[in-house]
Amino acid sequence: MITPFRLHAALLTPLSNERMAWHPHGALVVDERGSIAWRGDEAALPETFLPLPAMRSPHVLLPGLIDVHVHLPQLDCRGKFGASLLEWLDRFIYPEEMRFADEAVARDVARRFHAALIAAGTTTAMVYGTVHERATDIAFEEAERAGLRIILGKVLMDREAPEELLESAIDGLSATERLIERWHRKTPRLWYAVTPRFALSCTTQMLTGAAVLAKRHDTYVQTHCNESGGEIARVAELFPEAAHYTGVYEAAGLLTPRTVLGHNIHTDDEQLAMLRAHGCAVAHCPDSNLFLGSGRFPIEMHEHHGVHFALGSDVGAGTTLSMFHIMHAMSHVQARSLHPFEPLYRATLGGAAALGLEDSIGSLDAGKEADMIEVEIEQSFCRGKRLQDLSAQEIASVLVYRSANQRVGRVWVGGEKISERGGTEDVPTPSV
C-alpha cells in the first residue's frame, strides 16, 4: 500500500501510434494500490481528490518506457565492432557471457543493469540472461530489489556455441523449470520468459522442450528470428525440413500469443502470416540493426500483415539503454523522418501491447498502474515559450529527435518512487 497523492505536471500519453493525449496543465491521481485513479486537466480535477498531498513537476510526465528486447550480460559489450552477427557473437559476446559463471560478476552486472534501466527511464523490460542458472537467480533478485517490471529468462543453447556455454537439452530445460517455479509471477512485477537463444544454437529437442515448459507454466517466450543473412543460411542447413526460419519455431510449438521474436528483418509474406496466425509480436531493434548492419526492418510489411511490433534496445548490439535514442534510431533505419508519435508509441503503449500488458501499463490512463517518468525539456527548444505553450507534436518531436540530450528525473513504478533522479548517463562503472 502507498500513500495516495496527486501530481500536477504537463502530461503526454499515447492513445495509439497516431494520437497522443496532451495536458499542458495536467494532473494525475495515484491511489493506495499504486494505480492511476484519475488523469486530466488540473482545472477539471474532482474536488474529492483535493485533500490528497500534492506534488508539482516542472517537467513533462510520460508513461514509463518499455524495452522489449535487451541482453543483461551484454551491458559492458556495447560498441564492440565485429562485423556480422555470428562473428560478433564469437569474438565478444560468448566470452563475456562465460564470465557469468562467477557469481560476483553476475551480481555486479545485474545491479548496474537495473540501475541503468531506471536512469534511462525504462520501467519494464524483457530481458535475456546467460545460460547460468545461478546468474539468472541473481538477475531476478536484483530486478526485484530495483522495483522494476522485468520479464527474464535463462538462455538455452545445446549446440553451435563454445563448449563452456553448452548444456544438454535435459539439463537446460530442468534448470529452466526450476527457475520458472522460483520466479514466474513471484511478485506482480516479475515474469519468466522461456529463452531459446535462437534456432541456430538449439536442437529440435531443446526447442520442443522449451515450448512444452512455456505452455505448462503459461510463461512468455523470447528468441531471435531472421536477423542476418549468415544466421538464416545456417538455420536452413540445420533444419532442412523447415520451409523457413519461422517454420522452425512453429514446428517446435514456440509461436504463441506471449512470444516476442527479436528482429524479423529478412522475412516474407508467408512467415508474417504465420506470426499473425499465432498472435506473436516482434521486437524491432533499430540501433542494433544499424550497428551490425543487419538491414532495414520492413515496417510496412508488418503493418500489412497485422503483426504487432515494439521497440527494443538489444544492448549490447544496441549501443545504449536509452529508449529515446532507440526511438530516434527507428527513423534512421527507415532512412526517413517518422512522425514522432510513432516511435514514442512503440516504446510505451506499443511495448505494453507486445507483452500483452496494455491493460495495465504503457499509458497514463485511469485504472492502469502508475508507471511514470519525468523528462526535462531543453530550454533552448522552447525559445522563450513556456513548456505549456508547446503542442503535443512539438513535445514528442524534441523527445525523439533530440534524443541525445534527454534527462530523466523521478521514476515511479506502481506509484512507488524508485528513483529520485534518473540521469543522462546509463553507464555505471564495473566493480568486478
Query: Applying CB under 5 A, which residues contact Zn ion?
Result: 262, 314
* Least distance CB 432 / Zn ion (angstroms): 23
Rg (CA), the chain: 21
Neighbour-count burial of 181, counting CB atoms closer than 10 A to its CB (0-12 exposed, 13-18 middle, 19+ buried) = exposed
Residue whose CB is less far from Zn ion, 169 or 292: 292
Nearest to 173 by CA among 240, 224, 219: 219
Cα→Cα distances 176→129, 170, 222, 257, 413, Å = 12, 10, 13, 20, 27
Q: For 64-187, where are the E strands, in sequence order?
A: 65-71, 122-128, 149-153, 155-156
Q: How far is it, in rounded angstroms, from Cα 432 to Cα 421?
A: 25
Residue whose CB is less far from Zn ion, 262 or 409: 262
* Least distance CB 380 / Zn ion (angstroms): 36
Residue whose CB is less far from Zn ion, 128 or 324: 128
* Least distance CB 102 / Zn ion (angstroms): 23
* Least distance CB 205 / Zn ion (angstroms): 23
What is the three-class DSSP state of 91? helix
* Least distance CB 7 / Zn ion (angstroms): 35
Residue whose CB is less far from Zn ion, 262 or 343: 262
Residue whose CB is less far from Zn ion, 72 or 352: 72
| Strand 372-376, strand 122-128: pairing | unpaired
Q: How far is it, in rounded angstroms, from Cα 414 to Cα 123?
A: 10
Nearest to 156 by CA among 183, 186, 193, 189: 193
Residue whose CB is less far from Zn ion, 158 or 314: 314
* Least distance CB 262 / Zn ion (angstroms): 5
Residue 163: other Cβ atoms inside 10 A: 6
Residue whose CB is less far from Zn ion, 291 or 412: 291
Spatial CB neighbours of 2, under 8 Å, sequence gap ≥ 6: 30, 32, 33, 34, 414, 415, 416
* Least distance CB 244 / Zn ion (angstroms): 20
